[in-house]
């Protein structure tokens, strides 16, 4: 009797034409995948090259900003004329730095997602903000704001986040502490008191910000906040020592408090 298997037509064995067709299809698929990954490679190379250029510019900004801060410390014990000359010089150099380094970064970010490259230039930007706020304090005694001060002076296409501003302001406390110590060493009693009043208000504002947050929150804020507290304590100690020295020199008798 015939079975179901015996009724089936005999399968035609694959021939050379079929093998060639499969090989061509496989080769075409491989070419498409290779072309796709080549496109990915080119895009990644472009992004990496752009990132490297931005990192290099950021390093240059960091170095020049440190030089500006060092120059600003020359105002300690200087005459009014010398002080004005230093502030004018730093302001002019700051404009040149923005034009030569910040503007190219802004151009690199044109048409790009700025948050994708923020970490590449954030260190230099923080150092620049530290120099800008230090210059503002020495010029006016005030804190340079983010929206009405920092962003207005920097290129409009450059992302300046609240995090960069906050971290730069935290670093400012260290420079103000050095300013107070240098002034005290040169018998300048007014500067440490002004610095202390400013730092105490600044610390109070910064302490309202949580020192920890989500994954996108800057991890180094807690450390910078603790460093700011230490800077404030050092200036408080300097002012306290000045008060004791004045009391000793004037032979003022302090009231005795009894309980």
Annotated binding site for Mg(2+): 130, 175
Residue carrying the six token digits 């300097």:
238
Residue carrying the six token digits 């499969």:
22
Q: Detail the DSSP E strand segments found in the chain.
A: none
- Mapped onto helix, strand or coil, the DSSP state of residue 66 is helix
The single-letter DSSP state of residue 98 is I
Cβ contact 47:111 at 8 Å: no
Who's near 139: CB < 8 A, 6+ residues apart?
Answer: 87
Cβ contact 132:184 at 8 Å: no
Cβ contact 110:157 at 8 Å: yes
Angle at 94 between CA 89 and CA 100, to 5 degrees: 130
Phi and psi at 181, nearest 5°, equal -65, -40
Q: Which residues are annotated as a binding site?
A: 130, 175
How do the residues of the chain divide into helix, strand and coil, expressed in percent and rounded to 5? 75, 0, 25
């Amino acid at each position: 009797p015939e079975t179901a298997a015996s009724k089936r037509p005999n399968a035609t064995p694959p021939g050379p034409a079929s093998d060639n067709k499969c090989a061509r299809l496989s080769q075409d698929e491989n070419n498409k995948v290779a072309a796709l990954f080549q496109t990915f490679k080119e895009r990644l190379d472009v992004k990496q090259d752009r990132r490297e250029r931005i990192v290099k510019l950021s390093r240059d900004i960091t170095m020049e900003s440190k030089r500006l801060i060092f120059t600003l410390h020359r105002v300690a014990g200087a005459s009014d004329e010398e002080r004005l000359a230093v502030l004018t010089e730093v302001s002019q150099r700051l404009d040149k730095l923005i034009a030569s380094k910040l503007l190219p970064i802004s151009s690199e970010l044109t048409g790009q997602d700025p948050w994708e490259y923020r970490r590449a230039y954030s260190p230099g930007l923080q150092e620049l903000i530290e120099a800008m706020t230090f210059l503002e304090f020495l010029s006016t005694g005030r804190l340079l704001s983010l929206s009405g001060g920092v962003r207005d002076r920097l290129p409009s296409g450059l992302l300046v986040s609240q995090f960069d501003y906050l971290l730069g302001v935290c670093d400012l406390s260290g420079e103000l502490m050095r300013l107070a110590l240098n002034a005290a060493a040169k018998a300048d009693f007014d500067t440490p008191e002004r610095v202390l009043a400013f730092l105490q208000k600044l610390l109070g504002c910064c302490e309202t910000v949580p020192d920890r947050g989500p994954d996108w929150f800057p991890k180094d804020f807690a450390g910078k906040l603790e460093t700011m507290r230490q800077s404030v304590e050092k200036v408080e100690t300097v002012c306290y020592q000045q008060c004791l020295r004045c009391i000793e020199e004037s032979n003022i008798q302090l009231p005795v408090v009894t309980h």
